[in-house]
Amino acid sequence: MAKEKKVEQITDMEVDFAQWFTDVCKKAQLIDYSSIKGVFIYRPYGYAIWENIQGIMDKEFKKVGVENVYMPMLIPESLLQKEKDHVEGFAPECAWVTHGGVEKLEERYAIRPTSETLFCEHFANVLQSHRDLPMKYNQWCSVLRWEKTSPFLRHREFLWQEGHTIHATAEEAKEFTEQMLNVYADFCENVLAMPVTRGQKTEKEKFNGAEATYTIECMMHDRKALQAGTSHYFGDGFAKAFNIEFTDKNNQKTNPHETSWGVSTRLIGGIIMTHGDNNGLVLPPKVAPIQVVVLPIAQHKPGVLEAASELKNRLIAAGLRVKMDDSDNSMGWKCAEYEMKGVPLRVECGPRDLENGQCVLVRRNDGKKTVVNLADLEAAVAEQLELVHKGMFEKAKKNLEDHIYEAHSIEEAKKLQDENGGFVKTMWCGELDCELAMKEKAGMSSRCIPFAQESLGDTCACCGKPASKMIYWGVAY
């Protein structure tokens, strides 16, 4: 029997969460290992999730005026070095090309770890007048960072999109940075059913070379934090370093203000760890490669297969991604298989159902069965898929909200984290020393300074000095 047909045992998440995660990735055939450590193959079922994410997100980008481009994958070392903070952050993680064919290169090239420097060089080439602004560009590509690895969470090579924009004023650039964070946040919540916390990163945690980094932070099943998307405001720092100039309305040479923003296939890791269970994947209906699986019961009986095919065709005609499994595997095997693969809705139809002009819909997320009239199939399926999304979102939201704890000292924060996981919120004075102390003594990094602030007091939980900011701490992937 083919490997594809075996549903091997998935380790329970309560026993070993990391092993559960790896088992799910492998058994649902999302990824495969390559011969290079930390570099993964995206298999059809895993890549199809990414394609669906791309398709929906790309439309959102285009709605806010973003155009797609493609920049080179190689960055000359001298170009990478033009912005000091940026190169310090990324150079240690670059893979370096030293030879082209048999010839040794005069200068070595980095495979892009991110493309700010390439976009800056291009902007400097093409920007002339304020009439050219804003330029809002994005690219879908892979990047490479030579660091520690884990499937979907930290690949050495991973797929992502990176948006890069330049604007005439700081205000407009800041506003766009926030706008893109909201595009990500809405996408996570409305498409992936992943509730997010929106906020700003601290100085320590912000992107190399940015003036400000905004983030959306999600909470996984194991109550660890996942940074799911970030947007960065650069001011005119890169523009000055790369000599990007335009002639403003008063005919003066001016530097534009810049932003960048990105999400990656890490979102798929987030989906798995937010929604999955001990039976395998639970996929959000809007990005599931198969949204509905049709399973004929007693398919050898006259009329069953024909009826099941018709149901399948009606659902395809309604714009859904549908599969019918009429293989000779047992019904038990099939149910377990599509559960493991996270298919949001199962349609069962057997001779009895058909006699009664009915079929049964079974939701993946909570197992709830609904008997529907065949005449109402399309509407009923659409409704159930919507309920699957809602149910997934509500459950994840409860997990997030139930595990945000309030602390007033490092010791208290540590105790709460050790006992419960989740986010610990405290007041914070803004000093790096306090951030380092929280890391050292409580094992937590700052996740974000939420946009939705609350006042928990007026002194820093770490040093006791006056504090006006509330911050979230957590253990992050």
The tokens for 391 are 């149910």
ω before 134 within 30° of 0 (cis)? yes
> Under rule CB under 8 A, how many of the chain's residues touch its own copies?
63
CB 167 within 8 A of CB 123: no
CB 54 within 8 A of CB 140: yes
CB 21 within 8 A of CB 221: no
Where in 86-105 is the site for its own copies (CB under 8 A)?
92-103
- Cβ-based nearer residue to its own copies, 129 or 356: 129
The dihedrals phi and psi of 143, each to the nearest 5 degrees, come to -130, 165
The tokens for 349 are 């139809």
Name the residue type at position 211: E
- Cβ-based nearer residue to its own copies, 118 or 380: 118
Among positions 20, 21, 61, 137, the unique one binding its own copies when judged by CB under 8 A: 137
Where in 147-186 is the site for its own copies (CB under 8 A)?
147, 156-157, 159
- Cβ-based nearer residue to its own copies, 147 or 366: 147
- Cβ-based nearer residue to its own copies, 130 or 425: 130
Helices 377-401 and 266-275, interaxial angle, to 10°?
A: 90
Q: Exposed, middle or buried, 89 (CB in 10 Å: 0-12/13-18/19+)?
A: middle
Place of tokens 């530097």: 255
- Cβ-based nearer residue to its own copies, 68 or 179: 68
- Choose the stretch contacting its own copies; rule: CB under 8 A; options: 73-81, 267-275, 415-423, 434-442: 73-81
β-pairing, 257-264 vs 292-296, is unpaired
Where in 276-295 is the site for its own copies (CB under 8 A)?
none
How far, in Å, are 271, 322, 393, 470 from residue 390 at the CA level?
Answer: 15, 21, 5, 30
- Cβ-based nearer residue to its own copies, 141 or 360: 141
Binding status of residue 146 toward its own copies by CB under 8 A: yes
Name the residue type at position 235: G
Binding status of residue 144 toward its own copies by CB under 8 A: yes
- Cβ-based nearer residue to its own copies, 132 or 175: 132
Name the residue type at position 8: E
- Cβ-based nearer residue to its own copies, 174 or 334: 334
- Cβ-based nearer residue to its own copies, 120 or 216: 120
Residue 437 neighbours by CB distance under 10 Å: 15
- Cβ-based nearer residue to its own copies, 127 or 297: 127
* CA–CA dist 69, 163 (Å, integer): 10
* CA–CA dist 475, 477 (Å, integer): 7
Among positions 10, 79, 166, 347, the unique one binding its own copies when judged by CB under 8 A: 79
The tokens for 241 are 């370093």
Among positions 8, 9, 59, 131, the unique one binding its own copies when judged by CB under 8 A: 131
- Cβ-based nearer residue to its own copies, 106 or 454: 106
> What is the maximum alpha-carbon separation in the chain?
81
How far, in Å, are 12, 59, 94, 201 from residue 15 at the CA level?
Answer: 5, 41, 36, 33
- Cβ-based nearer residue to its own copies, 83 or 121: 121
Least separation in angstroms between CB 192 and its own copies: 20
Q: Angle at CA 185, nearest 5°, toward 182 and 187? A: 105
Among positions 65, 72, 357, 464, the unique one binding its own copies when judged by CB under 8 A: 72
Return the SS3 of 155.
Answer: coil
Q: Facing residues of 157 across strands? A: 144
Least separation in angstroms between CB 50 and its own copies: 8
* CA–CA dist 268, 177 (Å, integer): 23
* CA–CA dist 373, 288 (Å, integer): 25
Least separation in angstroms between CB 24 and its own copies: 17
Least separation in angstroms between CB 137 and its own copies: 7
Among positions 128, 278, 453, 455, the unique one binding its own copies when judged by CB under 8 A: 128
Place of tokens 């960065």: 232
Binding-residue pattern over the window 21 to 60 for its own copies, x denoting contact by CB under 8 A: -----------xxxxx--xxxxxx--xx-xx---------
Question: Under 8 Å CB-to-CB from 328, ≥6 apart: which residues?
Answer: none
Among positions 15, 59, 63, 125, the unique one binding its own copies when judged by CB under 8 A: 125
Binding status of residue 121 toward its own copies by CB under 8 A: yes
Least separation in angstroms between CB 101 and its own copies: 4
Least separation in angstroms between CB 424 and its own copies: 33
- Choose the stretch contacting its own copies; rule: CB under 8 A; options: 134-142, 210-218, 294-302, 318-326: 134-142
- Cβ-based nearer residue to its own copies, 94 or 392: 94
Binding status of residue 141 toward its own copies by CB under 8 A: yes
Among positions 21, 109, 338, 393, the unique one binding its own copies when judged by CB under 8 A: 109
Interacting residues with its own copies (CB under 8 A): 1-5, 32-36, 39-44, 47-48, 50-51, 67-74, 76, 79, 92-103, 108-109, 111, 118, 121-122, 125-126, 128-129, 131-132, 137, 141-142, 144, 146-147, 156-157, 159
